[in-house]
Chains A and B, each alone.
Chain A
Amino acid sequence: MPYILSIITYIPLLAAFVILFVPKDQTKLIKYSTTAVFLLDFLLSLPLWFGWGQAQAAADSAHTLWVFEEGPFPWITSLGASYHFGVDGMSMLLVLLTTLLGVLAAWSSWRYIQNREKEYYIWLLVLQTGMLGVFCSLDFFLFYVFWEVMLVPMYFLIGIWGGPNKLYAAIKFFLYTLAGSVLMLIGILVLYFRTPLVNGVHSFDLNSILALHLDPALQWWVFAAFFVGFAIKVPMFPFHTWLPDAHVEAPTAGSVILAGVLLKMGTYGFYRFAIPILPDATLTWLPFVLILSIIGVIYGAMVSLVQKDMKKLVAYSSVSHLGFAMAGMFTLTVAGMKGSILQMINHGISTGGLFLLVGIIYERMHTREIKLYGGLAKLMPVYAAFFMIITLSSIGLPGLNGFVGEIMILLGAYTMPSYLIFSKSLLFLLASGMLLGAAYMLWMYQRVFFGEVTNPHLEEHVKGHDMTGRELGYMIPLVVLALWIGLYPKPVLDKMDRSVAFVMQRLKPAMERVEAAKALKPPALPPSAEAPTAAPIPAPER
């Protein structure tokens, strides 16, 4: 299907526009039709997966990384912005994750959202378009437009339908991420000004920016700008403070999308832009990024351990999991990067699932306080089983998806070239994150599900109200995916081959230079015309 990416991206926006004209008391019509639109969008995105082999072959014969490419079509010609869509294996997986979680988010909101339904579903649809647009854009201008478009619906989702402290959480989320993206915009513009003039204008196109030869000092600054923008989104350790607020206050579907998709924007940005465009700066920044990731892994896990609120616990576990994904990416090995991408998907499945599960019990009890629960397994056996599977997926039990991602990241850390970082043993701290992860998740599980029922309300509100058909309906796909990726991840991993190979190839000249410099050998002659300067990377000036 031609223009499939645009179709997938704009269907939700179109639906939002149509729903604008539906009277707001038609809540049933609105929620059913919105969910149907999300389902349609998901079904339309399936050909990306099933038609991948063929499309990839076509892209190979055209010598391009981008599959299902659209454009570039001229858009704002006097600025050199174009309409250019396309995906590679990595972003295709994220597109699928987004369309899937969209269905689940809409479906899970049917009972949770009881006021202003029309606005709610409209914002959900607009948000979906923003997220899909980010993953599909190959033009920096277009990318930035979608990137900012995401902020506004999320502000409303948290601000209108959130918990008691929603106003603070909403504006904090908004301003925090906006501050990062504005700095990122300056970085983008600096790159833009380096592109050659064609008909008197520079270009925002990713391909022309990838073709630049940037000197390492400039790369260092641009990386700094990108780092702030993306690290806030991830969120990496010192920039994570918006996340617990936003997660705890957001409605269930908001948390699912926030954790499942929005946090991937940061890691996506590093993988798609920062690393391939700025390979020299990547190597300079690598120890710093790795240390922050490791701090994030351990800190997130430790803070999770002491949480009293289930949702907050899951929120902090995201800091830990995303730290893992960042560390995997910055091992700069094939295994580490693939593991990192897989971990992004896994986090979407398992943390998205956990938020949905917490939402299910919250709808019954209207509390998430761990100590008010206990013995839930007796009252809701099916729920307990689902919670167990997703918990195990989150802590990386072999046979489930989390294990594959984590083991690949550890493998990447083990095989990482030692010249890249001063002490490789540091990376083994990552393994402690896995251990702590098991601790906080299982401890919470124990406190909530085992033991005697101590809270009399629990019996009253929950007994006989195990998961409904609708709730089973949106949890089963996640469990199936967790099992499938855990048992047979090869089809997923294979899709990433070209994408990871491309990033590795971009990094290669810079890595060779660093290796040569570290070995105190005279620098090797440039391997190709692509790397005319073989100078060692100077220390960045501060």
Chain B
Amino acid sequence: MPVLHPEFWRLLSPEWVLVCFGTLFLLLSALPATRGAKRAIGVMALFGFAVVLVLCAQTLAALSPGMHVAALTGLDGQIGLTVDGFSQVFKFIFVLGALLTVLMSFKYLDVEKAWTGEYFTFLTFAVFGMMVMASGVDLLTLWVGLETMALSVYVLAAYMRRQEPSVEGATKYFLLGAFSSGLYLYGTSLIYGATGTVQLGAIRLALMDRLAHGGPAAVGFPLAAGLVILSVSLLFKAALVPFHWWTPDAYEGAATPITAFMSVAPKAAAFAMLLRIFVVGFLPLAPMWTGLLSLVAVLTMAWGNIAAMLQNNVKRMLAYSSIAHAGYALVGLVAAGRSQSNQGIAAVAFYLLVYAFMNLGAFGLVLYLQREGSAGDQMDDFDGLIQRSPLMAVLMIFFLLSLGGIPPMAGFLGKLMIFYSALDARLYLLVVVLAVTSVISLYYYFRVVYHMFLKEGAPNLPAPSAGRPLGWSLALCGVAVLAIGLYGQPFLHWASQAVLLGR
């Protein structure tokens, strides 16, 4: 029976503080209230996420390097939840994404007159689920986290319930999501049957034992099938090709701040889970799954970028581009499986942090252009933006250059870290595909630039208004993208704390 760390309540403070806030919002939203009072819940959510963000940073600092704390026990008496550098780094990314999303939601909810308390409640519980996904170390605990997140996000995706595309996208997302959860459990049951455990560390020991005695042939069909089925469900959650079909519809239909959130935080959570499962539990089988995931990475980078070239709706384009970015991050995951060093994991963590800033920033610009009766997500909405609001056009250029990986923006450093880890692991083919598809991506990012700078806007268009919270969040994203690009050292150091132990 593993012993719990005496300070585990303190180390788990991000989780329980967040749950307290979520419960509070739930209770408050049950009260009949005016729009002003609903807005107050939004302000409280802002405060809550800010507190939790600080707690995440604090708990990370409290962990000595390489420390690994068993926090809660799982179903079978083994460790189920752990607090380590890896989990805290990823939690920070989720909470950061949620915080920026809340800031960006104010304008959207104002314009659409859609304030409710449930919006923030579900956002909070979704983030809680993600935290469990980052901390869980057995397949069932992870599943609980995954479902907590997924159920909340299904609701959020359908939030604009009177708009047909929102409902359509959310229904697709829900049906496929439920199916993939089923697959996850099926895969888990096969793995449990083969190894007798769902705890990742124990699975790994069992695998090493088998390989030592019987060689690769001893892996056996049920285990291999279980791993493949499990992977499929996770690839679905991270929206990787060929399991990405739900993404464009769900992203285009959902409320824009929710789309922004979905493209960043749940994706990061899916990567945290993928990393934990593959790099801790199934590392002995790395030669097998790295091949499979390399193929997925190539397909994802190629298809995400090619499909994005064809879109006229900016939200949809960003949806496909987010598929491509998941492909880049997947290269880091494959590198983590191939190489002994921690480079790959740090690269993924760093990339997801940078991606949170730049992608939320780009969606923020869509929100900025939103006005009554128009979502602001058509390419034409960007026409002549440099004339109407030069500052915003310049910010958008920062985000787009960063997404395309052009220095001196943060996205370049992110891609460079992926390059670095992949070359370190000698994945030359993946590096070349990454490089070529990045060039392709600039084509569609520059379509937006073309509309902003090179095309004249309709003369009678009023300058859009941001409102303070959206303005702050855009400024924060812009500064972060430039600052990380110019001096990435502290952020690289921060990401390098994302160490997975037991490898």
Contact = CB atoms under 8 A, between A and B. Distances in A.
Interface of A: 75-79, 119, 144-145, 148-149, 151-152, 155-156, 159-160, 166-167, 170-171, 174-175, 178-179, 182-183, 185-186, 189-190, 193
Nearest to B391: A20
B438 A182 contact: yes
Interface stretch (B179-187, B198-206, B372-380, B486-494): B486-494
A193 B407 CA distance: 20
B496 interface: yes
Interface in B121-176: none
Interface of B: 386, 397, 401, 406-408, 412-413, 416, 419-420, 423-424, 431-432, 435-436, 438-439, 442-443, 446, 449-450, 453-454, 487-489, 492-493, 496
A79 B492 contact: yes
Which of A76, A152, A159, A190 has the most chain B CB atoms closer than 10 A to its own CB?
Answer: A76
B489 A189 contact: no
Contact of B406 (A78, A151, A186): A151
A193 B446 CA distance: 32
29 contacts: A76-B492, A78-B496, A79-B416, A145-B408, A145-B412, A148-B406, A148-B412, A149-B407, A152-B397, A152-B401, A152-B406, A156-B453, A159-B453, A160-B453, A170-B454, A171-B446, A174-B442, A174-B446, A175-B442, A175-B443, A178-B439, A179-B436, A182-B438, A182-B439, A185-B435, A186-B419, A186-B431, A189-B420, A190-B423
Given A145-B408, A151-B406, A179 B492 contact: no
A84 B122 CA distance: 50
A259 B289 CA distance: 50
A186 B453 contact: no
Contacts of A79: 416, 420, 488, 492
Contacts of A151: 406
A300 B449 CA distance: 33
A159 B454 contact: yes
Nearest to B422: A189
Contacts of B424: 193
Contacts of A175: 439, 442-443
A171 B443 contact: yes
Contacts of A167: 450, 454
Contact of B408 (A149, A170, A182): A149
B407 A145 contact: yes
Nearest to B405: A182
> Which 3 A-B pairs rank lowest in CB-CB distance, beginning with the nearest?
A145-B407, A182-B435, A179-B439
Best-buried of A119, A148, A166, A182 by chain B (most CB within 10 Å): A182
A393 B327 CA distance: 53
A186 B446 contact: no
A148 B408 CA distance: 8
Contacts of B449: 155
Contact of B423 (A144, A155, A160, A193): A193
A155 to B, nearest CB: 8
Nearest to A183: B435
Contacts of A75: 487, 489
Contacts of A170: 454
A20 to B, nearest CB: 8
A304 B267 CA distance: 54
A160 B496 CA distance: 42
Contact of A185 (B401, B419, B442, B487): B419
- Interface SS of chain B: helix, strand, loop or mixed? helix
Contacts of B492: 76, 78-79
Contacts of A76: 413, 487-489, 492
Contacts of B454: 159-160, 166-167, 170
A152 B412 CA distance: 14
A145 B485 CA distance: 10
A166 B492 CA distance: 40
A189 B434 CA distance: 14
B453 A189 contact: no
Given A78-B492, A148-B406, A149-B408, A189 B442 contact: no
Contacts of B446: 155, 171, 174
A159 B450 contact: yes
A179 B441 CA distance: 11
A505 B212 CA distance: 55
A119 B393 CA distance: 12
A189 B419 contact: yes
Nearest to A77: B489
Contacts of A145: 407-408, 412
Given A78-B496, A189-B423, 19 more contacts: A76-B489, A119-B386, A145-B408, A148-B406, A148-B407, A152-B401, A159-B450, A159-B453, A160-B454, A167-B450, A170-B454, A171-B450, A178-B406, A179-B439, A182-B435, A186-B419, A186-B431, A186-B435, A189-B419
Contacts of B438: 182
A166 B442 CA distance: 18
A155 B449 CA distance: 10
A132 B137 CA distance: 52
A151 B424 CA distance: 29
Contacts of A119: 386
A186 B443 CA distance: 20
A170 B412 CA distance: 22
Nearest to B431: A186
Contacts of A160: 453-454
A540 B397 CA distance: 43
Contacts of B413: 76
B384 to A, nearest CB: 11
A473 B442 CA distance: 40
A178 B442 contact: yes
Nearest to B408: A145
Contacts of A189: 419-420, 423
Contacts of A78: 489, 492-493, 496
B386 A144 contact: no
A76 B493 CA distance: 10
A151 B489 CA distance: 25
A152 B493 CA distance: 30
Nearest to B495: A78
Contacts of B489: 75-78
Contacts of B442: 174-175, 178
A26 to B, nearest CB: 15
Contacts of A156: 453
Nearest to B417: A79
Nearest to B413: A76
A78 B343 CA distance: 11
Contacts of B397: 152
Nearest to B428: A186
A498 B429 CA distance: 40
A476 B413 CA distance: 45
A252 to B, nearest CB: 19
Nearest to A170: B454
A76 B408 CA distance: 13
Contact of A144 (B407, B420, B431, B432): B407
Contacts of A186: 419, 423, 431-432, 435
Contacts of B408: 145, 149
Most buried by B among A79, A166, A193: A79
Nearest to A78: B492
B484 to A, nearest CB: 10
Nearest to B496: A78
Nearest to A156: B453
A189 B343 CA distance: 15
Nearest to B420: A189
